[in-house]
Each structure stands twice: as C-alpha cells, then as structure tokens.
Amino acid sequence: MSIATREWQLVRRPHGEPVDDDFALVTLERPDPQPGEVVVRTIAMSVDPYMRGRMSAVKSYAASWELGETMQGGAIGQVVSSRSDDVPEGALVLHGAGWRDVAVLPAAHVSVVQPLPGLPLSLYLGVLGMPGLTAWAGLFRLASFQSGDTVFVSGAAGAVGSLVGQFARLRGASRVVGSAGTPEKVAWLRSIGFDAAFDYHDGPVAELLAGVAPDGIDVFFDNVGGEHLEAAITAFRTFGRAALCGSISNYNAVSAPPGPRNLGLVVGKQLSLRGFIVSSHSDLRPEFVPAVSGWLREGSLVVRETVVEGLDSAVDAFRALLSGGNTGKMVVRLAPDPS
C-alpha cells in the first residue's frame, strides 16, 4: 500500500522574482510507514525569506534544493499513523518537511509539542519557533543589547523584526524605532510599542532614520540590507553593534547590489557588525522559550500572523512574503487546529 500526497517541487531555478513556471504541485505515492516512522498530516507550514536562497544553485549556508525534488521548510502537524513507541498517534509535532500535505518521516525527525491554550499551533512556526529564536539570538547575543540602548530595526513589521522591537522594549530599551513598507505597517508598529517608525518609501532612509533617532542608535537589527545598512552605519554612536540577519532587499536581484558607501565609519566609530545564522545559536532555546512564553501568557507580547489558506496558495504566499505582503509571520494553513 502507499499514501497519496500533494507536494510542491522546484522545477526551474528562478531568475529574479520567482514565477509560476519555477514550481509544480504534484501528487506522489509515498510508502506506508516503516518501523520507527510516523505519518504526519500538515496543519500549517511556514514560508520564510531564506528559502529564496535555497532555490539558487549558489553555495550558501543552507543547501540548495534539487530540481524535481519536494521543497522543505518548517511545519506543524498531527500524527495520523505511527510505528514508533516514542511518538503516538494523535501527537502534535514540528518537523522540517513542509510544502506538502502529508509527510512520512522517521520519528526521530519530529518534535512533539503541546497545544497552546487559546492560541494557534502556528505560533510554533513563529514567535516560539525559528523567527522568535532569531530575534532573541540577534538582539541579545550578537548585538549585545543593554538596557538603555536605542534600537533600530529594519523590516520591523515582519515575523522577526516585530519581535526584536518588542523584546528590546520589554528589556528596557530607551528608544525603539523601525522601518516598514506601508503606512498601515508603520501604524501597527507604533501600536505594539515602537516609539517611532517610518515608511522607507517616503524618502532617503538615512534622513528618515535621523528624524526618528536624532541622537543616534546603539543597536541595529538588519533584515533588509542595502540602503538601510548604510543609514544605520551613519546613525551609529561610538561602539554601536549590528546583528545582520538578512538582506531581503537583494534576494531577487539579478546583479550584485552596491555595498554601503560609508564603511570607513566602522573604524572610527569602533562598530561591531556581525552576521549570523540562527541554527548556530540553538543553545539559547532553554532561556528563550520560558521568557517568551511568559510574555505571551501575560499579554505583554503582541504577535500577528498573515495566514494564507491552502497548499495550493503556498507559492503565492512565498512570493508575497518577498515583496512585503505580510505583517508578522506568514503562515500557510492546510487544516484547522485540532480541537
């Protein structure tokens, strides 16, 4: 016997912005689970900016997806069949085989999680998952945040940026400012505790940043790169620290973007600019999960999701993510949360 699944595959490497012909939604027959394996029905899957790099053949920190193979990513689901004593049928699990409605996996490749009373399971893909840990590691370890710092976050209305700003506020930042791509996102950032925010379409980023942080910044958390990084270097006070998480402004570029033109300031200001990959900081999870869970229970942390319905819409959701079509975490929901 076998199990029919619907899965998204990469069939052509995108040139610039991904288009429909780069992907195919296929129906496959997967074998029944063998001893030690489980069958997981996907409840929700994640689309994330780093996936754009995996569509390229260029060597990077994450291995390229092979053409004609099913793409992968974070997902949460429910075990509907189990041949493992460690993961029973009915368990809710996290795994890395997203982009499909059903996954057959070794039980060792899934992590059992508990339901969140009154909250969607998809939070395990966002604030309690990779984006949340990214925000935590970048702010507190890489940028060495200290109470009293002035913090600037680029791409601040996204899954990571919106958490960085709130983490900084909850830990005593003197001022938190952010950039976003629409007036609605700017208003939302102010509503969740950012002291100020600006729409980067409204003018040169350096001028907009100077308007909301006239005395300079101590910490920069960068999700965007390009003009934002150049502006932050100008705005830094002496001994400023940057956590460089992503450069989404360049992900669909077909030629090399220009680098910051003011790198000479790094020496005189004695700045620290540190790139990072969240997988290198999983040791922070034991401190991250209790702290963030507590803030969620208290209601002091605001979490927002942009939810797209159905596996058929997953590629559209990914493309929308790259063009700023999300506020908070972008999630593709395949099935209702089990009651």
Average pLDDT over residues 324-332: 94
Tens digit of pLDDT for each residue in 265-298? 999 999 999 999 999 999 999 999 999 999 999 9
3-state secondary structure of 27: strand
Lowest mean pLDDT among 5-19, 49-63, 259-273: 49-63
Average pLDDT over residues 34-46: 97
Closest CA to 102 of 83, 123, 79, 85: 79
**pTM assigned to the model:** 0.89
Q: Are 45 and 9 in contact (CB under 8 A)?
A: no
Q: Are 338 and 92 in contact (CB under 8 A)?
A: yes
State yes or no: pLDDT of 253 exceeds 60. Answer: no
State yes or no: pLDDT of 259 exceeds 80. Answer: no
Q: How confident is the model at residue 249 (pLDDT cuts 50, 70, 90)?
A: low
Closest CA to 334 of 22, 107, 76, 96: 76
Q: Are 186 and 126 in contact (CB under 8 A)?
A: no
> What is the Cα–Cα distance from 234 to 236, expressed in whole angstroms?
6
> What is the Cα–Cα distance from 84 to 64, expressed in whole angstroms?
31
Q: How confident is the model at residue 116 (pLDDT cuts 50, 70, 90)?
A: confident
The amino acid present at 47, given as its one-letter code, is V
Average pLDDT, the chain: 94
Tens digit of pLDDT for each residue in 211-227? 999 999 999 999 999 99
Report the 10 Å Cβ neighbour count for 339: 4
b/e burial code for range 98-131 (CB count within 10 A of at least 16 → b): bbbbbbbbebebbeebeebeeebbbbbbbbbbbb
Q: How confident is the model at residue 228 (pLDDT cuts 50, 70, 90)?
A: very high
Average pLDDT over residues 81-108: 97
